[in-house]
A = this chain, B = another copy of it.
Amino acid sequence: MSLPHAILTALLEKPSSGLELTRRFDRSIGYFWSATHQQIYRELGKLEQAGFIRALPSDQPARGQKKEFEVLPAGRAELTQWASGRHDPKPQRDALLLRLRAAAVVGCEGLDDELRRHLALHQRQLAEYTEIERRDFAAPASADDRLRRLVLRAGISLETFWVEWLAEALAEVAEVGAAEVAEVAEGADTGGPDAPGDASA
């Protein structure tokens, strides 16, 4: 149940229409919570229904007309409670790590190209974050800014991790690929254990 709270946070930072929210989810908020415009419109309807937000008065509340929302006290209360509550971290899902484990079984054909492609993507994202930090957080700032900078630093560290790990992975895959070729040449077939932490599986 995080999307409604993401929207409440965004609307508290600045009252917006659905499409404006969508654009903000493509940038800052979307860096750690993505959403499409269909999700956003649906949630805006639910939040309005629940009395957490309301549409700002407008002359023509019709289809195709801009419709801005602001947060009501009940919405702020809901967000405050959610932010201060206890929620366990969700188990992560990462398809690339899964594919690497699959490659350990079916072979590494073409894997290095994909790793290089991901490396480039993460390098670009890291550069974007670094630029934002340089531009918006050069000087010591307000309490709000310090917290937002902290969030940005998480993004920078995560992208740095990926860049470093992908470089390591490329080196490893190159060596493994060479070893596989050698093994095939010898007709060798080492079974090997099941997997990390899978001692009894």
Contact = CB atoms under 8 A, between A and B. Distances in A.
Interface stretch (A47-55, A60-68, A150-158): A150-158
A56 interface: no
Contacts of A42: none
A104 B147 contact: yes
Contacts of A34: 91-93
Contacts of A183: 143
Interface string A13-46: 1101000100110011111111000000000000
A57 interface: no
Contacts of A180: 143
A178 to B, nearest CB: 9
A154 B105 CA distance: 18
A135 to B, nearest CB: 8
A165 B157 contact: yes
A192 B140 CA distance: 12
A28 B108 CA distance: 20
Contacts of A193: 136, 145
A74 to B, nearest CB: 13
Contacts of A142: 190, 192
A127 B142 CA distance: 36
A102 B114 CA distance: 36
A195 interface: yes
Contacts of A92: 32, 34, 158
7 contacts: A12-B105, A27-B198, A31-B197, A84-B114, A87-B95, A136-B197, A154-B165
Which 4 residue pairs of A and B lie closest in terms of their CB atoms, listed nearest first?
A: A34-B91, A104-B147, A84-B110, A28-B198
